[in-house]
Amino acid sequence: MTDYSNVNYQQSIDQSDRKVPINLRQTGDAGIRLLISNRVRKSAYWHLSCEEGCWRATVYNRMYHPRGYVRPEDGGAMVEYRALVNHVTLWNVAVERPIRVKGPDAEAFCNLVCTRDVTRVPVMRGRYVILCNEKGHVLNDPVMLRVADDEFWFTISDSDLMYWFQGINVFARYNVEIDEIDVSPLQIQGPKSEALMVDLVGEGIRDVPYYGLMAAKIAGVDCIISQTGFSGEKGYEVYPYDSTLNAETVWYKIKEEGEKHELMVIAPAHHRRIAAGILSYGQDLDHETNPFQCYLGHMVPKTKEAHYIGKEALERTREQVNAGNPPFHHQLVGLKLGGKPVEDYASDFWLVAESEEGEPIGWITSPWYSPELEVNIGMAYVAVDKAELGTELVAWLPEEYQPYPGHPVHAEVVEMPFRPSVNPSSRERARAEGRDSAY
């Protein structure tokens, strides 16, 4: 058995394809308290989350981000999970901080920075997009909303996209304005979300398709509504204009109408998004990750003729991947894991090996327990030659999850998503149509 307490994780797993290796040291959770000060921004809903009993938070986009309402002694995150999959939930996701690109050249600018063909996105529709640097590495994977012919919003993941956009345009000189706007998103997610939205904005919401948009008022406040979300369940995002002024009005109205639908305020549901195969930026990918490395190769079009940032590198990577010679050492995969149920956030990257005696060949990025599958599931990076479906591995979980202390648990590479989503992702649709067998 390998003594992992003495392993130099940085040297034992080859990360020479990165400039800065991911820190894989298993540091544990020291119970450190996050300092809440005025140096990190608080969203327009922060006090409302605190009012709801938020007891822990992280920092995302330099803003405090609620990550728990139900305390462990009361059932913890799995109580929030049950509310999501059975009823309807309200999430404070103001950290998505929409970045607006507006002006006569907005479409051309967005087509330059997105891999997907933005010219094909109609007004009042959205798309999941990725934005890459010139090396073909992912800088952000936001939802893009086209709210007007000359206006696009990017609800960003955890990186400074606004600075990237503004820096590009110093030299590109497109006729656009690029700013963060006072629109703080909320998510309403769960099987009863449509019924709640009907009560809030009327029957017209039933006609809004997946990734469709609708202009509406909630308690007199102008909002954009999108049928999107971070859960794999049916859900919507609400974007109130002038959120700093209107936060309480919208929040309390949603809570009032949600009472009869058994609404619960919860943290963003990482337990459910893992099952849906939805990636979390900074956790499952970062600015040194290639789309072909993390299930996002289908976001790199073969038919987009217009130039976009990273195009040459990405097309070269596609050729290398198809030739069996990828320019990266590790591939993101889905894993089914043994062990006791993982019912809370992992504070570290857990290691993966070929056998109990073997050296680590990868790391788990996002683990959780799936009540529906009755097994732990997770996303992990493993050596490319160990990424084939059905490959059997072992995973070193923290001691509290080990059935036999001091020993790893069984792991198997499986297909993602782990369970169907209410609204299939673009990757799920591509697979169903036979377009996912090769890039």
- 202 lies in a domain? no
Give the pair of three-digit tokens for residue 405.
């202390």
Q: What are 375's strand-pairing partners?
A: 370
At residue 427, the pLDDT reads: 56
CA distance 238 to 224: 6
Structural domain that includes position 29: 1-33+329-439
- Residue 390 counted as domain residue: yes
Q: DSSP states of 352-370 as a string?
A: EESSTTSPEEEEEEEEEEE
**Alpha helices for 13-124 (secondary structure H):** 46-51, 77-86, 106-113
CA distances from 115 to 127, 141, 285, 307, 346 (A): 12, 11, 17, 9, 32
Is there a domain that residue 406 lies in? Answer: yes
Q: Which helix (H) or strand (E) holds 167?
A: helix 161-172
pLDDT of residue 3: 47
- SS3 of 163, please? helix
Is-contact 422 428, C-beta < 8 A?
no
Whole-number pLDDT of residue 420: 78
Q: Is 13 inside any structural domain?
A: yes
Taking Cα atoms as reference points, which of 302, 353, 361 lies closest to residue 330?
361
Q: Would the pTM count as exceeding 0.85?
A: yes
Q: Which residue has the tokens 């999108």?
A: 226
Pick out the chain residues at pLDDT < 70. 1-11, 28, 423-439
CATH number for 4: 2.40.30.110
Residue 339 lies in a domain: yes
- Tokens encoding 224: 């954009």
Total tally of structural domains belonging to the chain: 1
Q: Is residue 80 part of a domain?
A: no
Instruction: Give the number of C-alpha atoms closer than 13 A to the C-alpha of residue 251, restricted to the C-beta side.
Output: 23
Q: How far apart are CA 308 and CA 301, in angstroms?
A: 11
In-domain check, residue 65:
no
105, part of any domain = no
Half-sphere exposure of 125 (CA within 13 A, CB side): 10
**How many angstroms separate the CA atoms of 133 and 139, rounded?**
7
